[in-house]
Amino acid sequence: MGELLAKIGWYLQYPFVRYALVVGVLIALCSSLLGVTLVLKRFSFIGDGLSHTAFGAIAIASVLNLQNDMIFVLPATILCAVLLLRTGKNTKIQGDAAVAMISVGALAIGYLLMHAFSTSSNLSGDVCSTLFGSTSILTLTRTEVWLCIILSILVVGFFVLFYHKIFAVTFDEDFAKAIGVNTGAYNLLIAVIIAIIIVLAMNLAGSLLVSALVIFPALSAMQVLKSFCSVTVCSAILSVCCALAGMLLSILAGTPVGATVVAVDIAAFIVFHLAGRILAR
């Protein structure tokens, strides 16, 4: 045990490891907050679709050779979130079909662009890293770390301020609208926050795994707890713990960061699910 701690301490000397842990914890916190809303509004797939769109945006950014790709990826993803939300109401194309269309489309175009124009010598490595986030959390620059911190504060701030509104809109949109809550605006706000979270969280888990960070903690907490407030708090704590454990494990064992974090999330879900079954008896 002491040996392990010493090893962790040795790793912590490196600034990039410290950056990774700080950003990882923040990402885990943010991504878990809206999980309940996403799962219950049947928005889980929007999270997934957005992450694929973000992959396409990253591909375009890398083709354009942008220094800081967040500047392009964030607005592009937010735009897609708004579009997806709109098509959800369109009766001609079903919401989930629209999500599938946009997400796989973005994935294909993204890969095509990367393949056709990439200047990098290690193309498959780049693609793999964007899809599974294998190294990006360990190669963050100072600017990216600050951007992550600022965006996380914004997300948490918005969530706290609009917590009761988000609850009302998630639980019963028609009722909320009937009593004069501007549900359209809050749905838009939720979509924008989701887009920001997805872009942030892609650093940790890559675009294929990112929705796991969003839905697993919420689903785990929902197995056991019974009020919106307790589920939200529990999923935030759980998400942070799983992310920390996953990151430390991956550093010690040399496994890919994103996949390890998601594996820990899955383990936590199984534990919570069993606990829920036992408690229900």
Partner 1 sequence: MAQLTCQNLTLKYDGKNILENLNFSVHAGDYLCIVGENGSGKSTLMKTLLGLHKESEGTMETGDGLLASEIGYLPQQTIVQRDFPASVREIVLSGCQARCGLRPFYTREEKKLARENMERMGILEFERRCYRELSGGQMQRVLLARALCATRKALLLDEPVSGLDPKVTAEMYQLIAKLNREDGITILMVSHDISAAVTYASHILHIGENVFFGTKQEYLDSSIYRKFYEIEG
225 binds partner 1 (CB under 8 A): yes
Both tokens of 213, joined, read: 């960070």
164 C-beta neighbours (distance < 10 Å), count: 9
Stretch that binds partner 1, among 94-102, 114-122, 222-230, 264-272 (CB under 8 A): 222-230
Q: How many amino acids of this chain bind partner 1 (CB under 8 A)? A: 32
Its sign, for the CA torsion 228, 230, 233, 235, is negative
Between 160 and 253, whose beta carbon lies closer to partner 1?
160
Contact pick of 181, 237, 249, 271 for partner 1 (by CB under 8 A): 181
Between 168 and 262, whose beta carbon lies closer to partner 1?
168
Between 229 and 270, whose beta carbon lies closer to partner 1?
229
Contact pick of 231, 236, 251, 259 for partner 1 (by CB under 8 A): 231
Contact pick of 11, 16, 22, 40 for partner 1 (by CB under 8 A): 40
Quick one: which of 265, 148, 142, 122 has its CA closest to 202? 148
Beta strands in the chain (DSSP E): none
Helices and strands (DSSP H and E) totals, the chain = 13, 0
177 binds partner 1 (CB under 8 A): yes
268 binds partner 1 (CB under 8 A): no
Between 71 and 229, whose beta carbon lies closer to partner 1?
229
DSSP, collapsed to helix, strand or coil, labels residue 141 as: coil
164 binds partner 1 (CB under 8 A): yes
161 binds partner 1 (CB under 8 A): yes
**Scanning residues 121 to 160, which ones bind partner 1 (CB under 8 A)?**
160
Both tokens of 29, joined, read: 């916190």
89 binds partner 1 (CB under 8 A): no
Number of Cα atoms under 13 Å in the Cβ half of residue 169: 20
Rounded Cα distance, 43 and 20, in Å: 28
179 binds partner 1 (CB under 8 A): yes
Contact pick of 3, 13, 89, 180 for partner 1 (by CB under 8 A): 180
DSSP conformation letters of 46-72: HHHHHHHHHHHHHHHHHHTT-SSTHHH
Rounded Cα distance, 154 and 215, in Å: 20
Cα 5 from chain centre:
29
Quick one: which of 115, 54, 104 has its CA closest to 79? 54
- Provide the minimum distance between the beta carbon of 81 and partner 1 in the complex, in angstroms, as a whole number: 20
Between 86 and 177, whose beta carbon lies closer to partner 1?
177
Q: Which residues contact partner 1 (rule: CB under 8 A)?
A: 36, 40-42, 160-165, 167-168, 170-172, 174-181, 221-222, 225-231
